[in-house]
Structure 1
Amino acid sequence: MPSATASQTLTWRGVPRPVRVLVLARTVNRLGAFSMAFLGLLLTRHLGASLTTAGVVLAAFGLATVPSRLAGGRLADRIGRRRTIVLGLVGCAVSQLWIAASPTVASAAVAAVAFGLAYEIYEPASQAIIADVSAPEDRPAAYALLQASMAVAGVLAGGIAAAVSSLDLRLLFVIDAASCLACAAIVRAYLPAGEVTAPAYDAVPVRPWRDTRLLLLLGVGSVLATIYMLLVMALPLTLDARGLPSWHLGVLLAASAVTGVAVTPFVPVLTAGRDSFATMRAAYVVLAVGLVAYAYADRLSLFLVGTVVCGAAEVLLLGHGMALAAGLAPEHGRAAYLAVFGLSWGVATTLAPLLGTQLLDRGGPVAAWLLPAAAALACAWAQPALRRRLTPSHDACEG
């Protein structure tokens, strides 16, 4: 099969309408997606839970997201993309209102598990829509567009959370529930049902767990996801260890979002003439450079350099990773494949807090960032082997 490279003509107007609707809806949803960061505080401050109990509840939420994503993949391929997205968002809204209204720790704990079970249902369907309506060579740029828009909304969400959290933590969950319902309404009203419903279900069963190519991609994706979860978890602690004020974190988050927006339009140009594996190899090297900058940064300007470099690499890596997973799947099993691939973030959410705190405690910021930098270089080194394993039956990105 001839090599496919990224489109050089994909623009916002050229993006298929379902993708534009999805980007708008998910951006609205992301504006309110800040409540989980405050669940621990709600449990301890308002409901009197101990730190240990709060930690168990948060862990239970995280564990519940694993079957949530798998169920979302199956539902999206069986009942349709739009129905699955609406179902997941409504489930999130109901469970968050339940958390806000909970009078006891036990009630909030059950509601948190219910939230986890609904939390990832819409994600595989959202990713599958992009694969359904985008040409294979355009998928990386389309996925990058979704990530960039959500990054910008995430910065605005932080400002909303900062303003509202001083009033009542329960109000955060109410606002998040409202954003879920608003997103569901946009999807229900404007996402064409016939155009992006699930393909006709094939008699041949979809077994993503038996596809060794997908499992290999999941392994490498888990390394990348863990690196980025370390960015989320270890960066605030690194700033503190270097004696820098906490407001620097807000500046870095904003810089990361701006980088995503600035780089996304250039993804087709940056990747022109290269397959996904060559692009990802280069992006992993760029990511390693940014992580090394974090290891030795001692002032805001140097942290900004690391943030911009890592942000640029993220745009390329996340989009191409999802495009590769979608390309491995049969047409009637894309959401199931993307659900399995997305479990890399569940792995990362479990490993990163343990790994990051241990590295910072034992080796300080230098060790905490040089180890993931080495892991990024290892992923870059592995790309030619991935090409050999995935290319023969891969429909999107070959070399």
Structure 2
Amino acid sequence: MPRSVWLLVAARAINRLGAFSLPFLTVLISADFGASATTAGLLSAAFGLATIPSRLAGGRLATTLGRRRTIVAGLTGCAVAQLGIAAAGSLAEVAVFAILLGLAFELYEPPSQALIADAVGPADRVRAYGLLNAGLAAGGAGAGLMAAVLGRWDLRWLFVADALTCLLCALVLHLTLPVDRADRADRPAGRRGGGAERVRPWRDRALWAVFVPGTLFALVGMQTVMGLPLTLARRGLPPADAGLLFTASAVTAVLVQPALRLRRLASLSDSSALALGHVLLALGLGGYARASSLPAFVAATVVCGLGEVLVMSRIFGVVAGLAPRGGADGYLAAYGISWGIATVAAPVTSTQALEHLGAAAPWAGAALLCLALAATYLLLVGPLLAARDRSAPDGVGAGGGSVPAAATDPR
């Protein structure tokens, strides 16, 4: 992997190591300010809603200010907002800084993902994005331990520690990433920011074809984060055991990386790999519906982790490949809105489903949804991407950005 990829992975792992404060935002609001659960939930939803324009702004700023500046600005903004939450003296102040955190929270994602897409060839994007996800997973595995230590002392220190990791990540990337330079080659003369103006992701049917199932995938992922502790409690297990399950998922994401290079797996088309990932997710979610012991939950988590690795290692390369030359930032920003939507919706859908349908039905329903998504990728998305590849110039994949990994990777 190129040096820039390793730098991004290492810096984001550092950042992820401190990203344990958000799950405790509602606890802080309730414990320190006496707010009701409804109020705490609404503030968390407001944070999630703010991440949607943040993701779009990240893609836009990356094409105007530059990727390094956007990444550093986003991480610094997160740090300032986290420190504001830690020092807040009223519920109104917490609300303001939570929304500001949401507005800065996704700025660095589109330029980070686009840097990786441009740093490696199309055949290596699966491994590069898999490496990034593994780095984030490794940092997440340690985040729970830090949260357990600092959370017993004072919840506000969680936000201070998170701010420090954001600043450290920003400093590392500011010192090591290539300096931003204005690339005028793709911009028409006489038009300011012309390269960005030509990128119109939402007019691209192929992007919509992956955005809709991607949003449903993100909703399943966020439901897992929100619903697992509640499900454990209903099955007579400590809700805190969810931390062990999240750690098991992170370890799975790290250990499975060499499998992405296996010939049979690497030669799968993107649509087939995405379908296989959703089938594995369905099996794991079905396991959650039936599990009644911690080992059963761990086994289901490992299967879900395998499916998530397959999906996450492929989907960003697909989206980057749809973009025209110089437009990866905008396409990745548009696709990333799926996670903002899921962050807003999941707290409502997961809690309401568990309350009204019981502990098994929501997981069984999510499993059926993943099977439907697998069929969607095979029957609808795959043919659409293949037709787009055939209509592109020789040697250029969908959207002018990539070619299928199976066509170029001899492994």
TM-score under structure 1 length normalisation? 0.92
**d(CA) in 2 for partners of 1:197, 1:323:** 24
Q: In structure 2, how many angstroms separate the alpha carbons of the residues matched to 1:341 and 1:114?
A: 22
Deviation larger for 247-256 or 232-241:
247-256
Opposite residue 390 of structure 1, the aligned amino acid is L
Deviates more, 1:273-282 or 1:127-136: 273-282
- Which amino acid in structure 2 is aligned with residue 232 of structure 1? V
Distance (whole Å) between structure 1 residues aligned to residue 28 and residue 49 of structure 2: 20
The separation in 2 between residues aligned to 1:93 and 1:197, in whole angstroms, is 27
Following superposition, the deviation at residue 54 of structure 1 comes to: 2.4
* Contact 1:77–1:199 (CA under 8 A) maintained in structure 2: no
Correspondence 1:397 to 2:404: yes
TM-score, structure 2 length as denominator? 0.89
List per-residue Cα deviations over 1:32-52 (Å, max 9, x = no partner).
111222222222222333333
Q: Aligned to 2:307, which of 291, 310, 313?
A: 313
Show the counterpart of 2:192: none
Aligned pairs for 1:148-227 within 5 A: 148-193=134-179, 200-203=185-188, 205-227=198-220
1:352 equivalent to 2:346? Answer yes
Q: Alpha-carbon deviation of 1:202?
A: 2.5
The answer for unaligned runs of 5 or more in structure 1 is 1-14
How far 1:361 sits from its partner (Å)? 2.2
Q: Which amino acid aligns with 1:277?
A: S
CA distance in 1, matches of 2:27, 2:294: 29
Q: CA deviation at 1:277?
A: 0.9
1:222-253 CA-to-partner distances (Å, cap 9, x unmatched) read 11111111111111111111111234323212
> How far is 1:200 from its partner?
4.7
Structure 1 window deviating more from structure 2 (275-284 vs 217-226): it is 275-284
CA contact (8 A) 1:284 1:380 kept: yes
Task: Indicate whether 1:272 and 2:259 are aligned.
Answer: no
Matches within 5 A, 1:66-85: 66-85=52-71
Distance 2:133 2:19 in 1: 14
Q: Percent identity?
A: 48
Match for residue 7 of structure 1? Answer: none
| In structure 2, C-alpha distance between the alignment counterparts of 1:185 and 1:225, rounded to whole Å | 30
Higher relative contact order structure (alpha carbons within 8 Å, sequence separation ≥ 6): 1
241-250 vs 291-300, greater mean Cα deviation: 241-250
Q: What residue number does 1:117 align with?
A: 103
Equivalent position of 1:5 in the other structure:
none
Alignment equivalent of 2:80, drawn from 63, 88, 94:
94
Contact 2:281–2:307, Cα closer than 8 Å, also in 1:
yes
User: Counterparts in 2 of 1:1-399, with a 5 A limit?
Assistant: 15-193=1-179, 200-203=185-188, 205-269=198-262, 270-384=264-378, 385-391=380-386, 392-393=388-389, 394=398, 395-397=402-404
How far apart, CA to CA, are the structure 2 residues paired with 1:53 and 1:248? 26
Does the 8 Å CA contact 1:77/1:201 hold for their aligned counterparts? no
Decide whether aligned partners of structure 1 residues 39 and 366 sit closer, same or farther in structure 2, where only a CA change above 3 A counts: closer
Question: Aligned partners of 2:89 and 2:201: how far apart in 1?
Answer: 42
Partner of 1:365, secondary structure, is coil
How far apart in 1 are the matches of 2:283 and 2:237? 22
Structure 1's consecutive aligned runs of 4 or more residues displaced over 6 angstroms after TM superposition are 196-199
Number of equivalenced pairs: 384
Cα offsets for 1:290-309 (capped at 9, x unmatched): 11111111112211111111
| Contact in 1 for aligned 2:141/2:251 (Cα 8 Å) | no
- CA-CA distance at 1:198 after TM superposition: 6.5
Q: Indicate conservation of the 8 Å contact 1:22/1:187, yes or no.
A: yes
